[in-house]
Structure 1
Amino acid sequence: MFVGRTDELDTLSDALARAEAGEPQALLLGGEAGVGKTRLVEEFATAAGRRDAVVAVGGCVEIGADGLPFAPFSTALRALRDALPEEFAAAGAGQEEELARLLPELGEATSSRHDEQGIARLFELTVRLLERVAAEHPVVLVLEDLHWADASTRHLLAYLFRTLRTGRLLVLATYRSDDIHRRHPLRPLLAELDRLRTVRRLELARFTREEVARQIAGILAAEPDPAQVDDIFERSDGNAFFVEELAVAACEGCCTGLTDSLRDLLLVRVETLPESAQRVARVVAEGGSTVEYRLIAAVARLTEDDLIEALRAAVGANILTVTPDGDGYRFRHALVREAVADDLLPGERSRLNRRYAEALEADPALVPADAHMMRLASYWYHAHDAARALPAVLDASVVARRRHAYSEQLRLLERAMELWDSAPEEVRCALRPFDCTEVPPSCGRDQATTPLRYLDLMAEASVAGRFGGERERALKIIKRALRLLEDEPDPLRAAWFWVQRSHLVQAQARGDGWQELATAQELVRGLPPSEVHAEVLAHVASWRMLHQPGPDAFAAAERAVQYARMVGAREIELHARLTLGGLMIDAGDTESGFAEMFHVKEDALREGVRGVAGRAFVNLPSALQAVGRSRESVPLLREGIAFTRRFGLVDTEAWVWGNFSDSLYALGQWDEAADAAANALRTRHSVKPQGSGALRLAHLALARGELADAARHLATAGARYGSHDPTPQQSLRVARVAIGVAAAEGRIHDARAELSRALDSGFPPGTHRYAWPLLLAAATAEADARALPAAAADRAGILDRLHETVRKLTIGAPLWGAYERWIRAELHRAVGTDTPDTWSEVVTAFECLDRPYDLARVRHRLAQALLTEGGEDERDRAVELLRLAGAVADHLGARPLADAVARLARRARLTLTLPHARLRSRGGTPIPRQALIPADPAEALGLTSRERDVLRLVSAGRTNRQIAEELFISPKTASVHVSNILSKLGVSGRGEAAAVAHRLGLFPAEPLTAPTAG
Structure 2
Amino acid sequence: MQTKTVSPVFVGRAPERSALTEGLAEATDGRPQAVLIGGEAGVGKTRLVEEFLRQAGEAGAVTAVGACVEVGADGLPFAPVSTVLRALHRQLGEELTQAAAGFGGELARLLPELGEPSAAVRAARDVEVRGRLFELTGRLLETLAQERVLALVIEDLHWSDTSTRELLSYLFRSLQGGRVMIVTTYRSDDIHRRHPLRPFLAELDRLRTVQRLELPRFTREEVRSQLAGIRGSRPPEDLLDQVYRRSDGNAFFVEELASISDGCGSGGISDSIRDLLLVRVEALPETAQSVVRVAAKGGSKVEYGLLRAVAGLGEDELIASLRAAVGASILRAAEDGTYRFRHALVREAVDDDLLPGERSRLSRQYAQALEAEPTLVPAGERAARLATFWYHAHDPAKALPAVVRAATGARCQHAYAEQLQLLERALELWDDAPAEVKRSLEVAEDAESYPLCDCGDEALSFLDMLAEMTLAARYAGEPERGLSVINRALRSLERLDHPLRAAWFWAEKSRLMRNLGRGTGWEELGTAQELLRGFDPSPVHARVLTEAALWGAVFDPGPGSLAIARRAVELAREVGDENAELNALLSRGGLLIETGRGESGVADMRGVLERVVHSDLVGVFTRSHINLQSLLQSMGRSEESLEVAEEGIELAYRYGLADTQSWLHGNRSDALFSLGRWAEAEEAALSARRSGQMPVTRSLAAQRLARLALAHGDLAAAETEIAAMREHHRPYHGAAAQYAHAAAEYQIALAAHQGRILDARRLFADVAAVGLGTGSGSYTWPMLAAAAEAESAARGVPAAAPGQPEAVAAIRAYASGIRRDYPVWVGYAALVEAELRRAEGTSRAADWAAAVAAFEKVCRPFELARMRTRWAEALLAEGERERAGDLLVRAQAVAVRLGAGPLRAQTERLARRARLPLTAGGAGAAGPGEPETFGLTRRERDVLTLVAAGRSNRQIAEELFISPKTASVHVSNILAKLEVAGRGEAAALAHRLGIVSTEIATPA
TM range (shorter): 0.7 to 0.9
1:369 equivalent to 2:379? Answer yes
1:854/1:29 Cα in 2 relative to 1: closer, same or farther (>3 Å)? closer
Q: Which of 924, 927, 932 is the aligned partner of 2:930? A: 927
> Structure 1 residue 374: deviation in Å?
1.2
- Secondary structure of 1:670's match? coil
Q: Amino acid of the residue matched to residue 431 of structure 1?
A: L
Letter in structure 1 aligned against 2:389: Y
1:9–1:44: 8 Å Cα contact kept in structure 2? no
1:806 and 2:815 aligned: yes
SS of 1:723 mapped into structure 2: helix
Matched residue SS, 2:691: coil
Q: Which residue of the other structure, out of 379, 386, 399, is the alignment partner of 2:389?
A: 379
Partner of 1:725: 732
Structure 2 CA distance for aligned equivalents of residues 567 and 56 of structure 1: 49
User: Once the 2 structures are TM-superposed, how far is the Cα of residue 488 of structure 1 from its aligned partner?
Assistant: 1.9
- For 1:755, the equivalent position in structure 2 comes to 764
Q: What's the offset of the Cα at 1:613? A: 5.3
- The answer to whether the Cα contact below 8 Å between 1:64 and 1:288 also exists between their aligned partners in 2 is no
Contact 1:73 1:143 in 2 (8 A): no
Given the alignment, which residue of 6, 10, 13 partners 1:9? Answer: 13
Is structure 2 residue 460 aligned with structure 1 residue 456?
A: no
Counterpart residue number, 1:395: 405
Query: Is contact 1:69-1:408 (8 Å) kept?
Result: yes
Aligned residue in 1 for 2:605: 597
CA contact (8 A) 1:561 1:577 kept: yes
What residue identity is the alignment partner of 1:374?
A
Cα 1:880/1:70, change in 2 over 3 Å:
same
Contact residue 131 and residue 654 of structure 2 kept, 8 A: no
Question: Residues 957-997 of structure 1, C-alpha deviation per residue, up to 9 Å, x if partnerless?
Answer: 79xx9889967999xx9xxx9997579979xxxxxxxxx99
Which of 133, 152, 155 is matched with 1:143 structurally? 155
Q: C-alpha separation between the residues in 1 aligned to 2:244 and 2:911?
A: 84
Code of the aligned partner of 1:368: P
Aligned counterparts of 1:230 and 1:592: Cα–Cα separation in 2: 78
Aligned to 1:410: 420
Q: CA 1:755 to 1:49, structure 2 compared with 1: closer, same or farther past 3 Å?
A: farther
Letter in 2 for 1:723: R
1:329 aligned onto 2:332:
no
Q: How far did 1:574 drift?
A: 0.9
1:572 maps to a residue whose letter is: A
Which stretch of structure 1 is more off in the superposition, 499-508 or 185-194? 185-194
Q: For 1:65 and 1:905, how far apart are their aligned partners in 2?
A: 64
Match of 1:791 among 765, 782, 800: 800
- Measured in 1, the distance between the counterparts of 2:171 and 2:743 equals 31
Offset at 1:790? 3.6
CA distance in 1, matches of 2:870, 2:359: 85
CA-based RMSD? 6.3
- Please give the residue correspondences for 1:287-686 in structure 2 after superposition, counting only pairs within 5 Å: 287-300=298-311, 304=315, 307-309=318-320, 311-312=322-323, 314-316=325-327, 320-323=331-334, 325-332=335-342, 352-435=362-445, 437-438=446-447, 440-442=449-451, 445-446=453-454, 453-550=461-558, 553-612=561-620, 615-628=623-636, 652=660, 655-656=663-664, 659=667, 669-671=675-677, 674-676=679-681, 678-683=683-688, 684-686=690-692
C-alpha separation between the residues in 2 aligned to 1:998 and 1:240?
A: 62
Distance 1:409 1:759 in 2: 45
Instruction: Give yes or no for contact 2:466–2:485 (8 Å, CA) kept in 1.
Output: yes
Report if aligned partners of 1:681, 1:691 keep a CA contact under 8 Å in 2.
no
Name the aligned partner's letter for residue 684 of structure 2: N
Question: Is contact 1:287–1:356 with CA below 8 Å preserved after alignment?
Answer: yes
Partner Cα separation in structure 2 for residue 447 and residue 908 of structure 1: 85
TM superposition shift of 1:432: 2.7
**Partner Cα distance (1:955, 1:627) in 2:** 33
Confirm whether residue 284 of structure 1 aligns to residue 313 of structure 2: no
Structure 2: unaligned runs, 5 residues or longer: 27-32, 206-211, 989-995
Which amino acid is the alignment partner of residue 410 of structure 1? Answer: L
CA 1:447/1:453 → structure 2, altered by over 3 Å: closer, same or farther? same
Equivalents in 2 of 1:661, 1:145: separation in Å?
A: 31
Matched to 1:795, the amino acid is Q
Maintained 8 Å contact 1:856/1:889: yes
Tell me, in whole angstroms, the C-alpha distance in 2 between the residues paired with 1:779 and 1:743. 10
The answer on whether the counterparts of 2:397 and 2:433 sit within 8 Å (CA) in structure 1 is yes
Alpha-carbon contact 1:459-1:497 (below 8 Å) kept: yes
Q: 1:633 to 1:156 in 2, by over 3 A?
A: closer
For residues 128-155 of structure 1, the C-alpha deviation after alignment (integer angstroms, 9 at most, x for no partner) is 9999999998978552384x65576689
Deviations 1:77-106 (A, max 9, x none): 766899999999999999999987766678
Query: Is the 8 Å Cα contact of residues 294 and 366 (structure 1) preserved in structure 2?
Result: yes
Structure 1 residues 429, 646: closer, same or farther in 2, change over 3 A? closer
* Partner SS for 1:722: helix
Distance 2:52 2:111 in 1: 26
Contact between 2:407 and 2:418, CA under 8 Å: does it hold in 1?
Answer: yes
Residue type of the partner of 2:732? D
- Please give the alpha-carbon distance, in whole angstroms, between the structure 2 residues aligned to 1:585 and 1:563: 22
Q: Distance in 2 between matches of 1:636 and 1:341?
A: 51
Q: Distance in 2 between matches of 1:412 and 1:757?
A: 47
Q: Secondary structure at 1:291's aligned position in 2?
A: strand
Shift of residue 70, structure 1, vs aligned partner = 4.5
Normalised by the length of structure 2, the TM-score is: 0.74
**1:806 Cα deviation from its structure 2 partner:** 2.7
Contact 2:56 2:151 in 1 (8 A): no
- Taking a change above 3 Å as real, the CA distance of residues 240 and 984 of structure 1, as seen in their structure-2 partners, is closer
Unaligned runs of 5+ in 1: 987-995, 1004-1014
Which residue pairs with 1:1007 in the alignment? none
Distance 1:967 1:169 in 2: 30
State the SS of the aligned residue for 2:841. Answer: coil
Identity %: 44
- Structure 2: distance between partners of 1:837 and 1:316: 90
Report Cα offsets for 1:881-901 as digits up to 9, x if no partner. 764675476367477778777
Aligned amino acid, residue 542 of structure 1? L
Spell out, residue by residue over 1:321-365, the C-alpha distance to the aligned partner (whole angstroms, 9 max, x if none).
322x15133344556656766777777766654554344334433
Query: Using a 3 Å threshold, how does the CA distance of structure 1 residues 819 and 94 change in structure 2: closer, same or farther?
Result: farther
Q: For 2:709 and 2:957, how far apart are their aligned partners in 1?
A: 33
Given that 2:68 and 2:154 are in contact with CA atoms closer than 8 Å, whether structure 1 keeps it comes out as: no
> Helix, strand or coil for the counterpart of 2:536?
coil
C-alpha spacing 1:79/1:737, structure 2 compared with 1 (3 Å): farther
How many Å apart are 1:454 and its aligned residue?
1.9
Relative to the length of structure 1, the TM-score reads 0.74
Q: Which amino acid aligns with 2:737?
A: P
Aligned length: 958
Q: Give the residue type in structure 2 aligned to 1:537.
A: L
Q: How far apart are 1:371 and its partner, in Å?
A: 0.9
Alpha-carbon separation, structure 1, partners of 2:651 and 2:197 = 34
Mapped contact 1:701–1:710 kept (Cα < 8 A): yes
- Partner SS, residue 725 of structure 1: helix
Please tell me whether the aligned partners of residues 281 and 314 of structure 1 are also in contact (alpha carbons under 8 angstroms).
yes
- Give how far 1:571 is off: 0.8
The CA distance in 2 between the partners of 1:442 and 1:55, in whole Å, is 49
- 1-side partners of 2:630 and 2:513: how far apart? 27
